[in-house]
Amino acid sequence: MVDFEYSIPTKIFFGKDKINVLGREVKKYGSKVLIVYGGGSIKRNGIYDKAISILKENGISYYELPGVEPNPRITTVKKGIDICKENGVELVLAIGGGSAIDCAKVVAAGCDYEGDPWDIVLDGSKIKKVLPIASILTLAATGSEMDSWAVINNMETNEKLIAAHPDMAPTFSILDPTYTFTVPKNQTAAGTADIMSHVFEVYFSNTKTAYLQDRMAEAVLRTCIKYGKIALEHPSDYEARANLMWASSLAINGLLTYGKDTNWSVHLMEHELSAFYDITHGVGLAILTPNWMEYILNNDTVYKFVEYGVNVWGIDKEKNHYDIAHEAIEKTRDYFVNALGIPARLKEVGIGEDKLDIMAKESVKLTGGTVGNLRPVNANEILEIFKKSL
Ligand code: NZQ
Ligand code: ZN
């Protein structure tokens, strides 16, 4: 195990009706809040009304930044920063999925920055002061509710980049599984694939001595495989939604990463797909992942696929190692496509051959030429993976 410093600062309130802590918790930070939310799902399912009534009861004044796009835009972030500066906002409260939370994070980080907020996405070291951030999560997927990253799109430059700063971790997040009952099937599926991909990014690492983290990672994967399907079939199954929700946070909050050398790969590739084609993040990941797995499978990496196949998919460990690896990859593809109903090919989501080359190059532009840890891949290899995914 490699050395690490542990810090997961977000306080979690998990369970039905935990929104009732909202007034008490917000008042620890101030009495002026910016509420950041998406295209209206929180108005249709009643979460908006509940949150507003709690803020009013507690004498907390609020401003609103509605309309955050899936794949949140830097232009929307700018609007939020202006509202905060004009009104002396003291806490930024996201209500929604990863997009609302990510937007809220960069709004909070941009209030004390005088230049163009895109600068702080490009370079997190420019972030000096971050307003307190809180979230009410409505979609189990990104883990943004418990991590310190935000992913923002710049549609003018076709860029989708990760902003990172330790102070962008929410101070508290409210996780009520019943709030995800209304998540549509396609988003439930994409969210489950996203959680699994966060685990893959750190599970497929060269560190062979982090036994504990690897077994925890396998538990999160098995949880997704079991409950993703149930949540699709029974959207109001509390047990399924609760397990997925907690898996979302644990997959990316650091717990599985501490003590390992990691370098993400498929995420960097997928962010280019979302930057150029504005597709759903989890869908892009599910399409690329089995093809990336096949591509990195070789004599040096096969041991990891054996662990994965045996411990996650229950494949007989006495079989030939390559047979186990191929079966595990096939089961992964089958789960995404047939159990979750996610498209299998890039063409099905409107992506053709024309931009594959530029997207492959852009995938590695900030990472020194390769992405990934177990078997790093360069731009030419990413292009191969994209072509296999067409
Ligand atoms: O916009 P509204 O109307 O709220 O509808 C949303 C949106 O259309 C809907 N939705 C959310 N909760 C719902 C619901 N509909 C009904 N009932 C509910 N309870 O779902 C749609 C997708 O929402 P969005 O927030 O975009 O999805 P997700 O949570 O998957 O977030 C995706 C964004 O997060 C980034 C992705 O790249 C993408 O931009 N990521 C952020 C990460 C992070 N901060 O750590 C890591 C991830 O790897 C990822 O890159
Ligand atoms: Zn992701």
Q: What atom of ligand 1 comes closest to residue 182's alpha carbon?
A: 17
Is the full-model pTM beyond 0.95? Answer: yes
Does ligand 1 lie within 6 Å of residue 188's CB atom? no
Measured between alpha carbons, how far is 127 from 150 in angstroms, rounded to an integer? 13
78's tokens: 């700018």
Provide φ and ψ at 278, rounded to 5°: 55, 40
Q: What pLDDT does residue 235 have?
A: 98
Does ligand 1 lie within 6 Å of residue 151's CB atom? yes
Q: What pLDDT does residue 255 have?
A: 97
- From 69, 145, 151, 269, the mutation candidate for ligand 1 (largest count of ligand atoms within 8 A of CB) is 151
Q: What pLDDT does residue 53 have?
A: 98
- Residue ranges matching CATH 1.20.1090.10 in the chain: 184-389
Residue 143, SS3? coil
Please write the tens of the pLDDT for every residue from 29-54. Answer: 999 999 999 999 999 999 999 999 99
Q: What pLDDT does residue 137 have?
A: 98
What fold characterizes domain 11-179?
Rossmann fold (3.40.50)
Q: Please measure the distance between the N-terminal and C-terminal CA atoms of the chain and give it in whole angstroms.
A: 38
Answer positive or negative: Cα dihedral of 99, 166, 203, 377: positive
Listed in order, strand segments (DSSP E) in 113-248 are: 133-137, 149-154, 159-164, 172-175
**What is the 195 CA–ligand 1 centroid distance (Å)?**
12
Answer positive or negative: Cα dihedral of 125, 127, 129, 132: negative
DSSP secondary structure of 11-62: EEEESTTGGGGHHHHHHTT-SEEEEEE-SSHHHHSSHHHHHHHHHHHTT-EE
Does ligand 1 lie within 6 Å of residue 204's CB atom? no
Residue in the structure block whose two tokens are 């990413």: 382
**What is the 97 CA–ligand 1 centroid distance (Å)?**
4
Does ligand 1 lie within 6 Å of residue 266's CB atom? no
**What is the 378 CA–ligand 1 centroid distance (Å)?**
29
What fold characterizes domain 184-389?
Dehydroquinate synthase-like, alpha domain (1.20.1090)
Neighbours of ion ligand 2 (CB under 5 A): 194
Query: Residue 5: which residues within 8 A CB-CB, separation 6 or more?
Result: none
- Residue ranges matching CATH 3.40.50.1970 in the chain: 11-179
- Ranges in the chain, pLDDT < 50: none
Beta bridge partners of residue 73, listed in sequence order = 153
Measured between alpha carbons, how far is 237 from 42 in angstroms, rounded to an integer? 19
Q: What pLDDT does residue 387 have?
A: 98
